[in-house]
A and B are shown apart, each in its own frame.
Chain A
Amino acid sequence: MNKRLVGAVTLGLSAALVLTACGSQSPSGGDTAEGGEVTLKLVAADYGDGPTADNSGDKFWKGVIGEFEAANPGIKVDVQVINWNDIDKQVATMVQNGQVPDILQTGDYSGFVKDGLLYKSDEVLSPATASDMLEKFADFGKVDGTGYGIPFVSSARALFYNKDLFDKAGIAEAPKTWDEVKAAAEKLKAAGVSQPFGLPLGNEEAQAESFLWFMGNGGGYKDASGNWTIDSPANVEAFTYLKGLVSAGLTTPNPGTKNRKDVWADFAAGKVGMVNGGPMSIPIFEKGGLSNFGVAPIPGKTGPLDTTLGVEDWIMAFNKNGRKEEIKKFFDFFYGGTAAQKISDTYKLLPVTKSGIEKLSSDEKLKPFLDALPNATFYPFQDPKWSEVNTQIKQTIGGAVDGDPKEVLGAIQKVATAN
Chain B
Amino acid sequence: MQQTSAPARAVRALAPLAWIGPAVVLIGVVVVWPVVVMIQSSFLKISRFGVVQGANGTDNYTKLLAEPDFGGVMARSLVWVVAVVAITVAISLGLAQLFDQRFPGRRVARWALIAPWAASVLMTAIIFKWMLDPEVGLINMILRDLGLLDALGGADADPLGNAATAMPWLIFVAVFVSVPFTTYALLAGLSAIPADVYEAARIDGASRLRTYWSITLPLLRPALVVATLINVMNVFNSFPIIWAMTHGQPGYSTATSTIFMYILKGSDIGESAAMSVVNFGMVIVLTVIFLKVSKWKTEVS
Binding site for B on A (CB under 8 A): 2-3, 6-7, 10-11, 14-15, 18, 88-89, 91-96, 111-112, 114-115, 117, 194-195, 202-203, 249, 253-254, 256-258, 262, 266, 269, 271, 387-388, 390-392, 395-396, 398-399, 402, 411
The residue that B251 contacts in the complex, of A3, A93, A256, with Cβ under 8 A, is A256
Binding site for A on B (CB under 8 A): 13-14, 17, 21, 24-25, 28-29, 32-33, 46-53, 68, 133-136, 151-155, 157-158, 160-162, 246-252, 263-269
CB-based nearest A residue for B245: A257
CB-CB under 8 A for A10 and B252, given A92-B50, A115-B51, A387-B266: no
**A254 and B162 within 8 A (CB):** yes
CB-CB under 8 A for A11 and B32, given A194-B135, A395-B249: yes
**B17 and A7 within 8 A (CB):** yes
**A202 and B46 within 8 A (CB):** no
Task: Tell me the number of A-to-B contacts counted with CB atoms below 8 Å.
Answer: 129
CB-based nearest B residue for A269: B135
The 7 residue pairs across chains A and B that have the minimum distance between CB atoms: A194-B153, A254-B161, A92-B50, A95-B50, A111-B49, A96-B50, A391-B267
The residue that B152 contacts in the complex, of A194, A390, A391, with Cβ under 8 A, is A194
**B68 and A411 within 8 A (CB):** yes
Interface residue SS majority, chain B: loop
The residue that A6 contacts in the complex, of B14, B134, B152, with Cβ under 8 A, is B14
**A95 and B161 within 8 A (CB):** no
The residue that A395 contacts in the complex, of B152, B154, B251, with Cβ under 8 A, is B251
Contacts of A391 in B (CB 8 A): 263-264, 266-267
How far, in angstroms, from A398 to B265 measured CA to CA in the complex? 20
CB-based nearest B residue for A97: B50
**B47 and A115 within 8 A (CB):** yes
**B48 and A258 within 8 A (CB):** no
The residue that A257 contacts in the complex, of B53, B160, B264, B268, with Cβ under 8 A, is B160
**B153 and A258 within 8 A (CB):** no
How far, in angstroms, from A194 to B149 measured CA to CA in the complex? 14
Contacts of A399 in B (CB 8 A): 250-251
The residue that B161 contacts in the complex, of A114, A117, A258, A387, with Cβ under 8 A, is A258
Contacts of A93 in B (CB 8 A): 50
What's the nearest-Cβ distance from chain A to residue B28, in Å? 4
What's the nearest-Cβ distance from chain A to residue B141, in Å? 13
Contacts of B269 in A (CB 8 A): 92, 96
How far, in angstroms, from A15 to B32 measured CA to CA in the complex? 10
How far, in angstroms, from A267 to B136 measured CA to CA in the complex? 13
How far, in angstroms, from A18 to B155 measured CA to CA in the complex? 53
**B154 and A117 within 8 A (CB):** no
Give 9 A-B pairs besides A18-B29, A254-B250 with Cβ atoms closer than 8 angstroms. Answer: A14-B24, A15-B29, A92-B49, A92-B50, A92-B269, A202-B247, A254-B155, A395-B263, A398-B251
